[in-house]
Copies of this chain bind each other. A is one copy, B any other.
Amino acid sequence: MSVRSCPMIALYTDFGVQDAYVGQMHAALARDAPGVPVIDLLNCVPNFAIRAAAHLLPALVAPLPSQTVVICVVDPGVGGSREPIAVLAGEKWFVGPDNGLLAVIEQRSTNSIRYRIVWRPDRLSHTFHGRDLFAPVAARLARQIRDGIEVVEAYDASNTGSDWADEFDAIIYIDHYGNAMTGRRFITTNSCRRLKVRGQCLDFARTFGDVSVGDAFWYENAYGLVEIAINQRSAAECYSLQLGDEIELVD
């Protein structure tokens, strides 16, 4: 099935789905990039959890068409000194604060290019750069306007998150079913191993249907990450799992 790629914008933020933040983003994008499709990739990234967010991002962008511009905002330092950057990696654009959020995307790509965002809006609020700076810049990139960004030095090892490209053996997201996703990629381990978390030791299973209702297991989730689940129950509740809990894969 051959389909032409068209420019597109995706949101990846900790803005939540209930509040006004996401609506403001869509309003600004409708104003600055009318006709460009905008999708909500994920707006419930755990609040302020930059390292978890940095590891979750590459797992989620696979199905996005090339040329998509992903606006990434987990930005507790908004209004402070961190710089706004754009990164071109894997034929996709990433726009966001230079606080480590884009570090894993950047380091794992063999040919990423880093840009400093020099464009500024006429009016920039102190607390909502997502709407006032990153959305307009993403709109410009989606419309092929490149004059607000400047190539900067290749990735600098002294930057925040410069050592985050390794696996992150911890829980980075808990979903509404109670499944707990980790920052460990399945390709770096194997299904013979057992997973230890909060004193539990779980076997691998291929999918939910392979275990009985109520049974716990770990598996490769659809994003290529190691995930903990109980068939038709909440693993998070049963084992009191929390964001940041460490995991260990043992023989």
Contact = CB atoms under 8 A, between A and B. Distances in A.
Given A63-B131, A207-B78, A22 B8 contact: no
Contacts of A126: 206-207, 219-220, 222
How many chain copies does the complex carry? Answer: 3
Contacts of A80: 207-210
Contacts of A208: 76-80, 127
Contacts of A21: 175
Interface residues of A, number: 69
Contacts of A76: 208-209, 231-232
Contact of A40 (B22, B60, B128, B173): B22
A30 B20 contact: no
Main secondary structure of the interface of A (DSSP, over half): loop
Interface in A200-239: 206-210, 219-223, 231-232
A42 B21 CA distance: 9
A246 to B, nearest CB: 22
Given A16-B176, A20-B60, A39 B32 contact: no
B177 A47 contact: yes
B65 A31 contact: yes
A231 B81 CA distance: 16
Given A20-B41, A39-B27, A41-B27, A210 B177 contact: no
Contact of A34 (B65, B77, B131): B65
Contacts of A4: 34
Given A41-B20, A79-B209, A175-B19, A232 B48 contact: yes
B131 A207 contact: no
A127 B217 CA distance: 13
28 contacts: A1-B136, A3-B32, A3-B33, A10-B23, A16-B175, A23-B39, A23-B41, A26-B41, A27-B41, A27-B63, A27-B64, A28-B63, A31-B63, A31-B65, A47-B176, A47-B232, A63-B131, A76-B208, A76-B209, A76-B231, A78-B209, A79-B208, A79-B210, A81-B209, A125-B221, A126-B222, A127-B219, A127-B222
